[in-house]
Structure 1
Amino acid sequence: MKRRHFIAAAALALTVGSSGTQAAAPASILVVGDSLSAEYGLARGTGWVALLEKRLAAEKISATVHNASISGDTTSGGRARLAPLLSSVKPSLVVIELGGNDALRGLPLQSTEDNLRQMTEAAQKAGAKVLLVGMQVPPNYGREYAERFSGLFAKVAKGEKAALVPFLLKGVADAPDPVQLFQPDRIHPKAEAHPTLLNNVWPELKKLLK
């Protein structure tokens, strides 16, 4: 073999795995959420998104996390700022955790559904997988409203072939004594509840990273 051919073959061997395919680039995860993902009322590094970074490192999964969550954000706000985020971050996976503030403000459910659908489609067109993170509202909103609200996340996920976490606060809001797990406003979980939030998200997110 000529020397230049040997050098080229050696260089190729360094960039190609034993399966004969080029090693995949690290995943880029974009989280677009509200205060539940923005560490509202918490010390930095204790929210579920920060814990996600630690989980990825512990499991030796090559991925970067970009937390673009803003306290008080609605699906309308998320939709408005998604395009520049997709352009700058170029994510391979987008986690959409929005909708709770829509319900708190009494915004039309159809508007929430449309915004989530538009965000999902935009992320998919940009080449990213999508994980929708669902939310539920307290019973005092009325049974019909509560069912329609919680159901719209599954509806969008099914229609757009996106992954779904049915309820981010499962095991927290429906715990035997949930008051102990929330900050005084009874809306935002304490730091000790955020590992549970991550555990709710992790199984579906890990599937998408494969």
Structure 2
Amino acid sequence: MRRRDCGAYFSALAFAAAFTSAGSGLANASAAKSAPVLLIVGDSLSAEYGLARGHGWVALLEQRLREQKLPHQVMNASISGDTTAGGRARLGALLQQHKPAVVVIELGGNDALRGLPLSTTRENLTAMSQAAKKAGAKVVMVGMQVPPNYGVSYGREFASLFEQVAKAEKTALVPFLLKGVADRPDAMDWFQPDRIHPLAKAQPVMLDQVWPVLRPLLTR
């Protein structure tokens, strides 16, 4: 092969390799773009507060999706300290941006900590459920409970409002995200020093509360 032909030959090979690589990259990007989105709208319990990155229950959910070869892309839009009012205010933009197939609503705990009216929390959760459904998403409502020092009556009413909203809006319900953690005899050994945020060892237990409710909604 002459030198000129040799140069042209290797240039063609380089172009073909680059084209194949670019095509593969475009295919991967296209696949990621077409993957159904699982949107998590929560507070510090879903935002890995006080944990090393990748150790929260949402990060563990991403791992489980990969292990089970489910195509869903998780978008964690959780913000520490957020209330149902905050979630309601930003949900519209999140729905428009991500067009999720499933929306997990994990909010309400900070409403109780701030002493906000239960009627307001209920109204906000209802509005969020309705907005997500209108956008074509399936909804998972994640329930929360408050410590006994809030009073038996208040605690019962607060816990029941999640069930009430889920029933009225016909959404899936996780009754209590911290079941198996907050109700353990040694519960304080499973929380950070603030006694509000669970430790890393509690995160798999939290995921196991969500997974049986969420999994049936994850159609391919």
TM-score range, shorter chain: 0.7 to 0.9
What is the RMSD of the two structures over their aligned residues, measured on CA atoms?
0.7
Superposition pairs of residues 183-202 of structure 1, within 5 angstroms: 183-202=192-211
1:4: which partner in 2? none
1:114: which partner in 2? 123
> Residue 207 of structure 1: CA displacement?
1.0
1:149 correspondence with 2:158: yes
2:86: which partner in 1? 77
Aligned mates of 1:29, 1:63 — CA distance in 2: 6
2:49: which partner in 1? 40
Aligned mates of 1:201, 1:146 — CA distance in 2: 21
> Residue 26 of structure 1: CA displacement?
3.1
- Aligned residue for 1:50, secondary structure, equals helix
Aligned mates of 2:90, 2:71 — CA distance in 1: 26
Q: Deviations over 1:35-57 (max 9, x none)?
A: 00000000000000000000000
Q: Deviations over 1:163-200 (max 9, x none)?
A: 00000000000011001100000000001100000000
1:176: which partner in 2? 185
2:142: which partner in 1? 133
What code does the residue aligned with 1:209 have?
Answer: L
In our comparison, the structure showing a higher alpha carbon Rg is 2
1:163: which partner in 2? 172
Name the TM-score, length of structure 2 as normaliser: 0.84
Aligned mates of 1:116, 1:208 — CA distance in 2: 20
Sequence identity, in percent? 67
Name the TM-score, length of structure 1 as normaliser: 0.88
- Aligned residue for 1:127, secondary structure, equals coil
Question: Which structure carries more helix by proportion?
Answer: 2
Aligned mates of 2:195, 2:151 — CA distance in 1: 19
Q: Which runs of 4+ in 1 moved over 3 A?
A: none
Name stretches of at least 5 consecutive residues in structure 2 with no aligned partner: 1-33
Paired positions, count = 186
Aligned mates of 1:176, 1:141 — CA distance in 2: 19
